[in-house]
Amino acid sequence: MASVEELREFLPRTDCRRCGLTCTEFAASLGRGELTPEDCPVLHEPDFAGYIEALHELLGPAPAAAPAMHIEVEKCNGCGICVTMCEYHLGNCDEARLGRGPRPADKVVFKVVNGAVVVLHQELCTRLVQAAEKCNKCADHCPTGAITLT
């Protein structure tokens, strides 16, 4: 990971504040992934040709987006297959291990409420654990294709 000083080397270093920051502050924001090189308007001027590309090279590839779950409620028929197949539920919820729905007190990724699945604790989904990031069971077993995992 490039340091603030290294990133600053490829900024105009005029502290013109057209970005609302000093160049050092801008470099620090670049390092934290809050801004991109394109956010410095001065770097788009011909005098700085190649600087944006050089900064991207220093910064390296953008981190992958965090895993996310999207459920199309209109497609869900409330069958509960995802709830009973869920990798997290099978490891942490006795009722799911027995093929039944979770008890009200169970902390679960999702459960069926009034005929449609509702996501309660997406942070429990084991896709967020690096070693299990390929888990796709709920989406694979959903008979209506209501679940999309990214």
Residues of this chain that bind ligand SF4 (CB under 6 A): 11-12, 14-19, 21-23, 26, 40-42, 71, 76-82, 85-88, 109, 112, 117, 125-127, 135-138, 142-144, 146-147, 149
CB 94, min distance to ligand SF4, A: 16
Select 62 or 141, whichever has its Cβ closest to ligand SF4: 141
Task: Report in angstroms how near the CB of residue 62 gets to ligand SF4 at its nearest.
Answer: 19
Query: In this structure, how many other beta carbons lie within 10 angstroms of the beta carbon of residue 66?
Result: 9
| CA-based torsion, 18, 20, 22, 26: positive or negative | negative
Q: Is 146 exposed, middle or buried (0-12, 13-18, 19+ CB in 10 A)?
A: buried
Residue 145: CA count within 13 A, CB half-sphere:
0
Shortest distance, CB of residue 136 to ligand SF4, whole angstroms? 6
Largest CA distance in the chain: 68
Nearest approach in angstroms of CB 1 to ligand SF4 is 19
